[in-house]
Amino acid sequence: MQKLILLQDIEDLGNAGDLVNVADGYARNFLVPKGYAIEESPAALRRLASRKGKIDEQRQLETDKAGQVAEKISALELIITAQASDDKQLFGSVSAGNISDELAKHGIEIEARRIHLDSPFKEIGEYLVKVKVHKDIFADLKLKIAKA
């Protein structure tokens, strides 16, 4: 295990400025070469202390921006049309990827993995979908699947 200081927020690991223990391979092959973390040392800790204000300011800006995106998503009613039978069964399904693509058409860029679905939708109807906009910020998207 290696002790590293994170330079950026890494989901499921920690925030910028945190001291974390990670596997040697993860540190050597991913975090350090990509510039996401540096090895712990007295000099690195001093550099981190001097950058702490800038890191906090950056985090606040990201949180504010995520809050604005969450408001846009919550105010939006997304309509996706799909081929369906007379008994409301879709000839396929509507997945997180489809929802992500439709959001992009409205100017909202969200990765498909951040859209939480238990399973793809296979029927026409109205649904409420959870979207993870930021680490602690979620939005409820109103989704309507209509017959094409």
Alpha carbon distance 41, 56 (integer Å): 21
> Do the domains spanning 2-63 and 70-147 agree at the CATH topology level?
no
| Per-residue pLDDT at 77 exceeds 90 | yes
**CATH T-level fold of 2-63:** Ribosomal Protein L9; domain 1 (3.40.5)
Phi, psi of 100 (to 5 degrees): -60, -45
Q: Which amino acid is at 90?
A: L
Alpha carbon distance 29, 105 (integer Å): 36
**Section 78-104 average pLDDT:** 93
CATH class, 70-147 region: alpha beta
Query: Would you kindly state where each structural domain of the chain is located, as residue ranges?
Result: 2-63, 70-147
Contact 36, 7 (CB under 8 A): yes
Q: In this predicted model, what pLDDT tens digit does every residue of 97-148 receive, in sequence order?
A: 999 999 999 999 999 999 999 999 999 999 999 999 988 899 999 999 999 8
**Cα-based torsion angle of the residue sequence 88, 129, 10, 26 in order, rounded to the nearest 10 degrees:** -30
Ramachandran area for residue 35 (φ above 0: left; ψ -120 to 50: alpha; else beta): left
Phi, psi of 80 (to 5 degrees): -115, 130
Please state the pTM of the whole predicted model: 0.76
**Average pLDDT score over the chain:** 90
User: What is the side-by-side order of every strand in the sheet holding 37-39?
Assistant: 19-22, 2-6, 37-39
| Per-residue pLDDT at 93 exceeds 90 | yes
